[in-house]
Structure 1
Amino acid sequence: MLFIFASILSLIISGVVAQNLTITINGTASHPIPTTMYGWMWEDINHNTPQASRRVEMVVCTRNVRNSYYTERQWSKLFRAVLQNRAFQQVTPKTSAALYAWSSFGATTLTVVDKSVTPSLSTALPNSLQVQVAPNASGQIGVSNSGYFGINVNPAWTYTGSFYYKVPAGTKAKGQFLAALRSSSGAVLASKSITLNPSATSWTQVTFNFKPIATPADNNNVFTLTVDGASTAGQTIFFSMFSLFPPTFKNRPNGMRIDLAEALQATKPGFFRFPGGNNLGQSIAGRWNWRNTVGPLINRPGRLGDWTYINTDGLGLKEYLDFLEDVGMPSIMAIWAGYSFGGTVPENQMAQYIQEASDQINFVIGDPAKSAAAALRASLGHPAPYPLVAVEVGNEDFFASDTYSAYRWPDIVGNLSAQFPSVQFMATTNVGSPVLKPKPKLYDVHVYQTPTWFAQNSFIYDSFPRDGTKYFEVGLDPTNGEFAAISTNPNDLFGAPSDGRLLWPTVAGTVGEAAFMTGLERNADIVFAASYAPLLQHINGDQWTPDLISFDAKNVYKSTSYYMQQMFSLNKGDEYLPSTLPSKTGTVFWSVTRRIATKEVLIKISNTGSASSSLTFKLPFNTVSKTGSATVLSGAQNASNTPTAPNTVVPKSSSFTAAKTFTYNVPGFSVHVLSVVAS
């Protein structure tokens, strides 16, 4: 008999048979839910092409945003830029790699050259494109750019472009430039003629716009800039800083890709962490320096990022801040803290970097009358300060915790906290190890794990001390603000998909993350923010998987985890209501919050097992609506939303019968948000 009972208990725990659970809810809130509870972390874009090809322009990027904006950074992440390697930044002249994404159109020879061949457009952009026209050229000839894995051509859009050019003195070139978008078959989809000035012996900028006249069959389209071969035969023309943008989010110059920005906005995020974890700097000289990311694009030199591709920094500090303001999410901003993979700054050289960080913060929140950096912000059209939640000092400094604890943290925070007494500074070493002085008020915690780990560790913050320190959960690693179920193989979390690493978020991973997040809400008295990571991924660049949102040149693909994160974020509530606790070893997890203004009780449930569960809720309120609403995300354990099947698992809404005591059935592998009005 004992054996039979033990066997049944084992089956219940493993999720093979249904569970019946009774949950009593307390009507007195134990703590508020921070408005910053759920948001996004930006890192940079990931890409598996040769180094010279990784150019970031702005489409929405990150290890959490891989490849998603547009700014023609040479990589495309959150902006809406179309052209890749637009300014030949950080490439080696006279090499084939320097021409990544560019090719000859007709009888021309292309070479990336430096200022030894012709004076550069600016000191920040030392390279330019030399186009030599063949002596016997005829017809339209010039250059072609393949974009970021193709170009989305939409007849409803007006595209805005520009480029710089010049010709050698005494040139005989004449006629018209033809800027165009062409299909893979060569058909002209959009075009604009621009007069070539044979007297333009110094750099001359040309701007143009055009609207496509046809819809191509696919995204295998290119941008071309051509001239009449007969009119320019044997001549040389130099080009620099090309640009082409479709409409952007909120019509911002250098702005974000609309569909990706709208996908983020639809979650009503409480914060945005930027400018990017490890992408703060591969080397001391190549660190993310805010000064090099503001002002005219021709003054932004770009740099080699930590993930081995070039950042053009077209997505600069102000572009970040404007985007955050447009979406309505305050920032958690990182400052470089004297450490890169390429070395650590000695203590006696830290002063200049502390000043750099001070100026960066002043650019965001400073008084233009008191700070040159803040005055620069005002001159760029934003005199008022931007919202700032916290400043993160470095990134993953557990890699160099000795210098972080010895002088980098105390020197940086000691100086900056005196200058900015209202700013909270966040540490990035392991929590409590080493001991930091001054004691951090905030810690950034990173977790990347298996679906099972997340469910099993939903109580991890329950044991953290309540000593005034608060935590930003990333990825899913209780120490730095990022979290995501990334693999089914606990022994090789960062291996390839063939080793168990997930290519796309799965339902099993999503419900595991949801289980963990119920624990974050239960501990929202000390967990003030949480972010899934990675955020964005181009489907042709899957160095880090799985990502919350995937995309190509035309489409956005929302994962199962995206929908779950959206469900939690839109229904986080204002305060946490204690209830009967889930079993730490069970498969069903829940949290209860309340939205004060609407008197809604919000119950979030995650079933991480295969068996359904019957949950009986006991509400402590005198009046309870007879009907509640339910948003449900469920599917097969290994189901994913993919480019070929993007809507395999999507949330569905329904109603349920509510009362002071009501029973609700929770199928296996599902996430639920229940809303019922009660007072």
Structure 2
Amino acid sequence: MMRSKLLGAFILSCILNVHAQEKKTFTIDASHPIADISPNMWGVFFEDINLGADGGIYAELIKNRSFEFADPFMGWKKLGENIGEGAFLVLNRKDKPNNPRFLRVNTNLSAGKVGLRNEGFRGMGVKQGLRYDFSILYKQSTPGITLHVQLVDSLGAIIGESNFRPEKTGVDWQKQQISFQATRTEPKAKFILWFEGKGVLDLDMISLFPEDTWKKRPGGLRADMVQLLADMKPGFIRFPGGCIVEGRDLANRFQWKKTVGPVEDRKLIINRWNTEFKHRLTPDYYQTFGLGFFEYFQLAEDIGAEPLPILNCGMACQFNTAELVPLDELDEYVQDALDLIAFANGDLSTKWGQLRAAMGHPQPFNLKMLGVGNENWGPQYIERLEVFKKALNAHYPEIKIVASSGTDPEGERFEFLNKELRRLQVDFIDEHYYRSPDWFLTHANRYDAYDRQGPKIFAGEYAAHTDRTAGTGNRNNWKAAIAEAAFLTGVERNADVVGMASYAPLFAHVDGWQWTPDLIWVDNLQAYGTPNYQVQKLYATNKGTDVIPIRMENEAVSGQQGVYASAVLDQKINEVIIKVVNHNDYAIDGSFKIQTKGSLAQDVEHVLLAAGLEEENTIQDPNRVSPKIDQVVLQGKTLETQLAPYSFHIFKIKMR
């Protein structure tokens, strides 16, 4: 037995030694670029899933702030020992059809002090020393009630408080705000509003925001989440989804016009992920549209990305109701698309340009692209797309049209749509692939044989799923991320075919997700990028301007012997950038020979992303899988280096 173990160890040692001595020679021709790379190549896809907006990037801490949920008191708990019947009433008003409900508090009907407690979105993340801005809309006939506001920790101890007395009276709604500081950091805080004194007070839009929003905008976005997007330097941001564009039915579809204008006038709807998965029911998931289309455009501008809105084409989700708008009733939907372009780009003489200016942005947003439909399929989609295309081409021929190729990257539906969309000569075909890591590895050459003269491809939603699509077991581990890194070498190599690419979904709350995997995970206080985030960020921040050939044994490097590679030239900074994936459990010696007319700097920046296949980043260890940067030395025009097991490398070589 001992002899067999020794023999096995000897054989394994011999195998490893042979692997360690393996040498791969790569030839990079930097003198002959073969394709331009779109400046918008790598972007981000946003959908309000996994508490991505409310409870996520939208920094509002109060859940159900205007009592518009199906259960008006969802998120709220009444406080007090002797609460009188009718002390808290939810009423409706006709002058605010998009936000009709408000709360009437009548303290005359209770013997003691009464209040309301709000639980927030899986609690509230509160930071010590930070200012918190509380505001309400109110109406009263006679002053009499003082509001005492408190933040309390998970045990009920007060960690911030203040009070104020609404003084204005009359029939009009008034807004009042106070600010106070938190005395302690707490990830699961709650908010309490006490009503002291006697009287009747009507309340709406009960709101609490931290001061440290992105760009310190009142009522704005969560800064750490936006910063992770900005750090990617994305070329575009696609919004608002995703399946929420379609809705489970057309009544619950995303309608952009109901998401602009004053926040208190925007119409809340149930989020379609509320009940989508029985394994992750989320009955408190709604869309308040504090993050609406204006804020999406503003976010795109802030992070230097092109806006890419996607609109409903007259079809509800075909996995749910598959409800259709008859072709002769499609005008409303087409007009929404035309009006959206006017809102984004129209001058101040137009209705929609005036609204944009009233919201604080007189200059156009310079919209260039528009998506018609999300993951729709079949001849019904093509019929409706043709109607949209005719109108958009007639009124705004400069706007590029992005069209859906359905839910899958192959099969009968895909083949039908691919043929029809090419016949229609749309500008971008939106392909989605949620597949296993092995699929990504074996399809790195997917675009090598695509038609170079047809529409560009938008890899609009991609992610390697380690378990199964829409399952709960998918992990954001290195196994998934390195498979994506390998696949993306093929995307980059075919930049003359693929014009844009984005991972999906973007955000997930650790206590409120419905779908895995996701690019960025958050809790109430922190946010971190997954290994998948690190991969796309490295592509986006090292995209270059031109594709250049890289070959191994005179072939494109697309998985032979577990190796994948692409190379680009950045003419703006005169730099060759090589990306290589070693998808083997052993190291490989690599020899990279650079063909160029000029000389090369000898010091080469080397970025390494490597880990065990099961390793992940977490809230507790957010940088476990993250890039390491060092220097390697070029020998003339040859780079000799070792490619670590299961590793993604970037080599940046300056040209003189």
Q: Decide: shared fold, TM above 0.5.
A: yes
Cα distance, 1:456 vs structure 2: 1.1
Distance 1:496 1:535, change over 3 A: same
- Of 623, 628, 634, 2:604 maps to 628
Residue 286 of structure 1: aligned partner? 252
Q: Distance in 2 between matches of 1:196 and 1:367?
A: 40
Residue 342 of structure 2: aligned partner? 362
Query: What SS does structure 2 have at the residue aligned with 1:262?
Result: helix
1:82 aligned onto 2:61 = yes
Query: What SS does structure 1 have at the residue aligned with 2:447?
Result: helix
Distance 1:325 1:112, change over 3 A: farther
Which amino acid in 1 is paired with 2:99?
Answer: L
Distance 1:111 1:403, change over 3 A: farther
Residue 265 of structure 2: aligned partner? 299
Moved more, 378-387 or 569-578: 378-387
Superposed, which structure 2 residues align to 1:143-154 within 5 Å? 143-154=116-127
- Of 642, 646, 651, 1:674 maps to 651
Contact residue 331 and residue 388 of structure 1 kept, 8 A:
yes
Contact residue 129 and residue 184 of structure 2 kept, 8 A:
no
Equivalent pairs, count: 608
Superposed, which structure 2 residues align to 1:468-483 within 5 Å? 468-473=454-459, 481-483=460-462
Which amino acid in 1 is paired with 2:23?
Answer: N
Which amino acid in 2 is paired with 1:630?
Answer: H
1:252 aligned onto 2:221 = no
Distance 1:409 1:640, change over 3 A: same
1:440 aligned onto 2:464 = no
Alpha-carbon displacement from aligned partner over 1:130-165 (angstroms, at most 9, x marks no partner)? 4454856445x3111111122222234222221123
Superposed, which structure 2 residues align to 1:62-141 within 5 Å? 67-69=51-53, 75-89=54-68, 91-92=69-70, 97-107=71-81, 108=83, 115=91, 119=93, 122-131=96-105, 133=107, 137-139=111-113, 141=114
- Of 479, 482, 485, 1:508 maps to 479
Residue 191 of structure 1: aligned partner? 161
Contact residue 389 and residue 424 of structure 1 kept, 8 A:
yes
Residue 321 of structure 1: aligned partner? 297
Alpha-carbon displacement from aligned partner over 1:356-413 (angstroms, at most 9, x marks no partner)? 11101111112333x3222321232222211324111110012xx22112x2011111
Residue 564 of structure 2: aligned partner? 589
Distance 1:98 1:32, change over 3 A: same
- Of 614, 621, 625, 1:649 maps to 625
Q: Distance in 1 between matches of 2:455 and 2:216?
A: 40
Q: Distance in 2 between matches of 1:677 and 1:514?
A: 23
TM-score after normalising by structure 2: 0.88
- Of 443, 447, 451, 1:465 maps to 451
Contact residue 426 and residue 444 of structure 1 kept, 8 A:
yes
Q: Distance in 1 between matches of 2:88 and 2:315?
A: 33
Residue 43 of structure 1: aligned partner? 47
Superposed, which structure 2 residues align to 1:153-552 within 5 Å? 153-167=126-140, 174-197=144-167, 199=169, 203-212=173-182, 214-216=183-185, 218-228=186-196, 231-232=197-198, 237-246=201-210, 247-282=212-247, 283-308=249-274, 309-341=285-317, 342=321, 343-369=323-349, 371-398=350-377, 401-405=378-382, 407-430=383-406, 433-434=416-417, 435-436=420-421, 438-473=424-459, 481-488=460-467, 492-497=468-473, 501-502=474-475, 505-552=476-523
Which amino acid in 2 is paired with 1:104?
Answer: K
Q: Distance in 2 between matches of 1:486 and 1:463?
A: 25
Q: Distance in 1 between matches of 2:168 and 2:24?
A: 82
Distance 1:113 1:612, change over 3 A: farther
Superposed, which structure 2 residues align to 1:549-568 within 5 Å? 549-568=520-539
- Of 583, 599, 618, 1:608 maps to 583
Which amino acid in 2 is paired with 1:225?
Answer: L
Query: What SS does structure 1 have at the residue aligned with 2:148?
Result: strand
Which amino acid in 1 is paired with 2:269?
Answer: R
Contact residue 79 and residue 248 of structure 1 kept, 8 A:
no
Moved more, 437-446 or 572-581: 437-446
- Of 530, 543, 549, 1:572 maps to 543
Cα distance, 1:105 vs structure 2: 2.8
Superposition CA RMSD, Å: 2.5
Contact residue 563 and residue 582 of structure 2 kept, 8 A:
yes
1:26 aligned onto 2:29 = yes
Distance 1:202 1:390, change over 3 A: closer
Distance 1:582 1:555, change over 3 A: same
Cα distance, 1:646 vs structure 2: 2.2
Cα distance, 1:350 vs structure 2: 0.7
Q: Distance in 1 between matches of 2:514 and 2:36?
A: 38
Query: What SS does structure 2 have at the residue aligned with 1:79?
Result: coil
Query: What SS does structure 1 have at the residue aligned with 2:96?
Result: coil
Alpha-carbon displacement from aligned partner over 1:426-445 (angstroms, at most 9, x marks no partner)? 11035552314532121101
Which amino acid in 2 is paired with 1:390?
Answer: M
Contact residue 585 and residue 645 of structure 2 kept, 8 A:
yes
Structure 1 regions of 5+ residues with no counterpart? 1-7, 47-66, 70-74, 474-480
Query: What SS does structure 1 have at the residue aligned with 2:188?
Result: coil
Cα distance, 1:281 vs structure 2: 3.3
Contact residue 573 and residue 602 of structure 1 kept, 8 A:
yes
Q: Distance in 2 between matches of 1:516 and 1:112?
A: 57
Q: Distance in 2 between matches of 1:548 and 1:111?
A: 46
Q: Distance in 2 between matches of 1:645 and 1:655?
A: 26
Cα distance, 1:611 vs structure 2: 1.6
Contact residue 487 and residue 494 of structure 1 kept, 8 A:
no
Contact residue 181 and residue 190 of structure 1 kept, 8 A:
yes
Contact residue 121 and residue 203 of structure 1 kept, 8 A:
no
Contact residue 62 and residue 206 of structure 2 kept, 8 A:
yes
Q: Distance in 2 between matches of 1:374 and 1:649?
A: 45
Contact residue 45 and residue 77 of structure 1 kept, 8 A:
no
